[in-house]
Every structure is written in structure tokens, then in C-alpha cells.
Amino acid sequence: MEIRRRRMGFMIAALATGLVSWWGLAPAAQEAAGPADAPSREAIWRSIFARPAGLPEPVDPAKAALGRDLFHDTRLSGSATASCASCHDAGRAFTDGRATAVGPGGATLSRNAPTLYNLAWATSFFWDGRAQSLAEQARFPILEPDELAGDFPTIIRRLSADAALPARFKAAFPGSDAITEEAVLEALAAYERTLVSPPTRFDRWVEGDDTALSDEEKRGFDIFVGKGGCVSCHGGWRFTDDAFHDVGLPGKDIGRGALTADGKGLPEFRTPSLREVARTAPYMHDGSLATLKDVVDHYAGGLVVRPSLAPTLVRDLSLSEAEKAALIGFLKTISSEQKSNTAHGTTRPMIEK
């Protein structure tokens, strides 16, 4: 899976690089570069960023509903005072607004709490990719002493004592007469698969509404897919290649480099999705960049240059203040304007029967 993911990342990067080069040509040169009936540059990018019609695989509604309640259930924590929702707030696009997460016992964690949106399409999880499935991912924070600090014998005992839950588990997992660790994790994973980021103004533009973006925002998109090279890692409708890169941040945390079998120890972290980016500050794996302006400044002159830098990074990127403002304006169009339904602390999930 790791090799396949990297190959796919390289393919996307190569395609993006070619389109970036073509995009930078004047319209007359673009026309000369291809046949008369070639699609317009807008049509090409719209096809690349088009949202899917539904989830990649159907999700069982009973499992998802059970998982939704477990996501907010404090009985999964050792202290019975915290839940998954403690660090993944729907009002903040399932992040917590902190630079790095803080455990219920007060421990400050080393990494930023990432959004949970659109994980049904993800191929690995955590900033370092240590988990290969959503169910595997859910297990880590439940057992981690500085996070929920739970243990499954206690969790199962607590849940089994609830008069209503055994029947709900049996309905969601036919053939099983008991609440199990595997069922708890699979229910959580089922719910998280339904968390799909809402449509945005950018999606309206992708669908053909030329008035959905302002002229400045369109200039920002030109920079995103052009001279900025952002699309090389943030391509596709989720704005991520699901790969791991060194993006030139300082610090001793080497992310996936600590897990790779080759022992190279490169400081690589998973490319985050940019969906709902206006609601997920602060940014990067360590939360070190407080604003979108800080992020743009990092890529436009703030890189720690070293041999392990991602090859797709534009190392000498220079942007005027007007260009930075346009790029930030575009990034905000990837975030929804609608407010989440805060009843029970979650947005409306997508469930396919």
C-alpha cells in the first residue's frame, strides 16, 4: 500500500506539474500547444477538483448512528470525563483550535489535532501514517495514556451495563451477542466515514458557476495551480495527495521518518486536506503557524532548505503582498459558509444505504 500510494502521489504530482506549466502559458500559446477542440484550462481544473457524487463505499446506518454516539461517549476514557469529540469539535471542522492537542488529564501533546473530514477516501491516518484504517486509528487515542487513557475491559463493562446499548450493538453487528473491542472501533470508523465536508463556493465554481469566485479569488487559484505549485501536493477534490513530505519546518519531530523501515529518518508528514481550512487554525503538524498568512509566508521565503525537502516545493517562491492576499482569499473559498448543526456536536453526516 505504501508503494502504491507513493506511485499515485508521483503520478498526481507529475500531472499537476505538467498542467502548471501549461497553465502558465498565454492563451494564444495554450491554443497552439493543443488541438482546437482541447478542453479549456478551466474545464481541466474543474475536472480535477470535482467532488464525488457519494461515499467510496456505502456505510451501514445502524453502525454509523452507534458510532456517532460512541464518538461523544465519555465512557471510552479512563476518567469517564472525555470523549473523541473533546479534541474533534464539529464547530471547528473536527479540530480543537489549539496548536497541539491537550489530553483530558492536562498533558500537552506534541502534534496538532487534524480534521476528521473526508477520511472515507484517505489511505493512511495520523500525521505520520502509523494507522492503515480508521478502525486502527480510533484505537490509538483511546488507549494512549496522555489522551483518553482508556482500556477496553473497562469500556466494555461500562457499555454493557447500559440497558439500551447491547441491543444496539446486536442490531448493528448481527450475529454478535456481546459488545466487543472490534465492534466499538468499527462503529466509530463507520461514523467517521460519514463526515464529509460541506460544499463551498469553490465547488460552485467547479460545477460551472463563473460568478462563484471573485476576480481576486480567481487570481489566487491561478497562483495555487500556477507559480505557487501548491497543487502538486494539494490536488484533487480533497486537496491532498495522501503522501508524506518534508515541507521545510524547523523542529526535532521527524514524523514518518521515525517509522520507515529504511532508517533514513527524514522529517516527513502527511499532506493535510485543505478542505475547511479557514476553520482549522492553527496549522501544520505542530500547530506552529497561527494564520493562513503565516502559512503562505512559510512557503514564500520561510522554508528551512535541506536536501530532504519535497521535490515539488517551489524553493525560491516569491509573492507580492497582493498575490499573498489573493492566494489566501482563494483558500478561504475551500471552506463552507454554512454553520454546522451543533445538536449533539456534529454536522449532518452522509450515509448511503
Residue 305, Cα to own-chain centre: how many angstroms?
25
pLDDT value for 238: 98
* Residue type at position 146: D
pLDDT beyond 50 at 23 = no
| Per-residue pLDDT reduced to its tens digit, 92-112 | 999 999 999 999 889 999 999
pLDDT value for 325: 98
Pick the CATH number of 2-38+199-332 from 3.30.465.10, 3.90.1170.50, 2.60.40.10, 1.10.760.10: 1.10.760.10
Res. 40 pLDDT band, cuts 50 70 90 = confident
Q: Residue 71: which of 262, 296, 346 has the closest Cα?
A: 346
Res. 218 pLDDT band, cuts 50 70 90 = very high
Cα–Cα distance for residue pair 94/69, rounded to 1 Å? 15
Cα–Cα distance for residue pair 228/134, rounded to 1 Å? 32
CATH domain 61-196+340-345 topology? Cytochrome Bc1 Complex; Chain D, domain 2 (1.10.760)
Cα–Cα distance for residue pair 246/308, rounded to 1 Å? 6
**From 201-205, 259-263, 333-337, 346-350, the region with the lowest mean pLDDT:** 346-350
pLDDT beyond 70 at 37 = no
pLDDT beyond 80 at 38 = no
DSSP characters for 242-302? S-EE-----SS--BGGGT-TT-----BEEPPP-TTGGGS-SBSTT--B-SHHHHHHHHTT-
Record the cell numbers describing residue 68, joined without a space. 456517532
Percent of the chain with pLDDT over 70: 84
Question: Domain extents for the chain?
Answer: 2-38+199-332, 61-196+340-345
Which residues have CB under 8 Å from 128's CB, separation 6+? 244, 255, 256, 258, 259, 269, 270
pLDDT value for 226: 97
pLDDT beyond 60 at 294 = yes
Give yes or no on whether 2-38+199-332 and 61-196+340-345 have one common fold.
yes
pLDDT value for 29: 45
Arithmetic mean of pLDDT over the chain: 88
Q: Residue 265: which of 257, 256, 275 has the closest Cα?
A: 257
pLDDT beyond 70 at 153 = yes
* For range 161-169, the mean pLDDT: 96
| Per-residue pLDDT reduced to its tens digit, 228-242 | 999 999 999 999 999
Q: What is the pTM of this model?
A: 0.87
pLDDT beyond 50 at 83 = yes
pLDDT value for 351: 53
pLDDT value for 261: 72
* For range 339-348, the mean pLDDT: 42
